[in-house]
Amino acid sequence: MSSSNDVFDSATPEIYRIQTHAPGPAGSLPITEEMLRNSPSGDLFGMTQNAGMGWDPADAGRKQYLILSTQGGLRAPDGKPIALGYHTGHWEIGLLVQAAAEEFRRLQTIPFAGFCSDPCDGRTQGTTGMFDSLPYRNDAAIIFRRLARSLPLRAGVLGVATCDKGLPAMMMAVAGLPDLPCVVVPGGVTLPADAAEDAGTVQTLGTRFAHGLVTLSEAAELGCRACGSPGGGCQFLGTAATSQVVGEALGLSLPHSALAPSGQPVWLDMARRSARALLQLEQRRLAMRDVLADASIRNAMMVHAAFGGSTNLLLHIPAIAHAAGLKLPTVDDWISVNRRVPRLVSVLPNGPVQHPTVRVFLAGGVPEVMLHLRHLGLLNAEVLTVTGKTLDENLDWWEKSERRRRFRELLKQQDGVDADEVIFPPDEARERGLTGTLVFPRGNLAPEGSVVKATAIDPSVVDADGVYRKEGPARVFVNEKDAMAAIKQGRIKAGDVLVLTGVGPMGTGMEETYQITGALKHLSFGKQVALLTDARFSGLSTGACIGHIGPEGLAGGPIGKILDEDTIRIHIDCQRNEGSVDLVGEGQRRFTPEEGRRVLAARGLRKDLASNAALPEDTRLWAALQLASGGTWAGCVYDAEQIIATLKAGRQALNLS
């Protein structure tokens, strides 16, 4: 044990071996008279810093490329932790940074690297740490852009990121650099562990233990074994994996780069090829404004629907579009896409077979799905991508490539799985009964809209005509902790409609509620419980879970007026991709949705509805700024013009201007 004296001084004699001067780098900088006369002093001092950090002074004037990443933790050369990161998703991506940097150096350029690490939504589930999760995304995007602009001579940016908020932040950042060439390198996925549960299922161990479904020793072992390899995003198609898919679908990443197994040669090769692609974009004078277009956004929405991706991308895709100065998709746009696009991917957690994401990669990943969508006429294949070629050209290459053939063969050889059993051809998907991914219920409780991943509702509670129908009593909670306690204590029963309100942006920073959805999934009666909330969900969530309900309770939305024992009616047509969520009764009285609208209008907000007492001031500010910028359905972004206009109007109203 250390003593207090260890803090004040050290017995190590080496601390007194001090140098007060050093010879400095040998050589001279490649500067010219014209540079001395006309270049900013910062350009020259930058070369001084390059030499000071050990770069060969003779090469200090070479073209510069910036690698930005969400790297976290500190790894020893043998891979063992010196200091842990927050999650496996950013633990190994320093290796991608290194591989790309070495390639830049081989190509006679100067690589720079900057970092902004990211949090883990799994680690913060059920804690106040979740209050910073979504706000982090906006902050990180700003930091990444500031870092890019703070290297004035960078010729391009390579963004390396993996997970739920870090990768969307990186995509927002590069989208907001319209005059620069940029390429995004996805951080890949971790492997499933042998004879173990996945990283999502183990997050329900507490609830299962409380209900006697696992023992203490089983929980301890299962919790230890969930990550089959040390790096990469979780093994399921959650927000991390979906973000990788969307980045590639946008054309920001190289073909067949999303969902690669972290730490393996194919993963490192992707970083090297991405570095080469960035140089080629710069040589051709192609920048982000040439790659991202309204059609790119719509393509990404199509691929999201075909994969059955996380509902969190309803926040991130509009945010990327906003950063790029493009048209923001509306609720009606999402409805249109999800009605037209068949779900094609069989993957954890959606099924019908719970394949891990590495199998989706081996089956062909994003380009394989896009081949099917192109055949159906659902894509704009004329858009440019970071290969410097159009999507059409990329898909023509993929269709005939040895890469496609060999990876599909590997899936069969190693796991005994046919690629077409993971990524279904459209006709096969229809025969298997796969329906559209998302439904956007409206009604007197969600006048601005809401979302449910209909494809993840247990088929046994969906009627033969493809409609989920539920009418039940409301069990209302204004914080997640109390809702979880009720579930663990057996106070939530089959037939209930669990309402979690006041947990949108203004209440908790729009926390993620996988604690609840995961618990319900793994309880025998959970499929007979519906959830309504103004919060958001993990991409792993399944069941009749309706989130993003707008307006949020604390903004005066009807969800903030629901009382215990109110009767709620839910109607979700999984075939027609439409639905409603309505108050249809109070006490013993029943009424129509229209009458329910009048009842709600006459009610005030619940007396116990309030922002969480632990909500940080930083998050309160984020909530106000995103609300002024259009709120949840605009992607929770910062829109400078709208914020300035709101502030100006407020100052005028208060006679401050």
* DSSP codes joined into one string, 374-430: HHTT-S-TT-B-TTSSBHHHHHHHHHH-HHHHHHHHHHHHHH---GGGTB--HHHHH
What pTM, to 2 d.p., does this model score?
0.96
Which candidate, 447, 449, 443, places its Cα nearest to that of 571? Answer: 443
Q: What is the pLDDT of residues 285-317, one digit of tens each?
A: 999 999 999 999 999 999 999 999 999 999 999
Q: What is the pLDDT of residue 540?
A: 67
- Pair of tokens at residue 121: 């939504």
Say what the pLDDT of residue 4 is. Answer: 61
b/e map 245-271, b = 16+ CB within 10 Å: bbbbbbbbbbbbbbbbbbbeeebbebb
Task: Judge whether 545 and 568 are in contact, CB under 8 Å.
Answer: no
Beta-ladder partners of 497: 474, 530
How far from chain centre, in Å, is Cα 419?
Answer: 26
Which residue of the set 229, 346, 450, 538 is catalytic?
538
Helix (H, G, I), strand (E, B) or coil at 261: strand
φ, ψ of residue 568 to 5 degrees: the values are: -110, 135
Report the chain's terminal Cα–Cα distance, integer Å: 61
Main-chain phi, psi angles of 260, to 5 degrees: -70, 145
Coil vs helix vs strand at 648: helix
Q: How far apart are CA 607 and CA 560, in angstroms?
A: 10
- What's the pLDDT score for residue 518? 85
Q: How far apart are CA 100 and CA 164, in angstroms?
A: 23
Whole-number Å distance between alpha carbons of 129 and 565: 32
Give residue for tokens 């696009």: 341
Mark whether 243 is an active-site residue.
Answer: no
Contact assessment for residue 235 and residue 348, using Cβ atoms and an 8 Å cutoff = yes
Contact between residue 62 and residue 109 where contact means Cβ atoms under 8 Å apart: yes
- For residue 6, the model assigns a pLDDT of 83
64-69 and 567-573 beta bridge pairing? unpaired
> CA 440, CA 505: separation in Å to the nearest integer?
19
Q: pLDDT value at position 64?
A: 98
Q: Tens digit of pLDDT for each residue in 317-355?
A: 999 999 999 999 999 999 999 999 999 999 999 889 999
**At CA 323, angle to CA 305 and CA 394, rounded to 5?**
50
Calpha distance 522→200 (Å, rounded):
11
Assigned token pair, 119: 């949090």
Name residues of the chain where pLDDT drops below 50: none
Comparing CA positions, the residue from 515, 544, 534 lying closest to residue 453 is 544
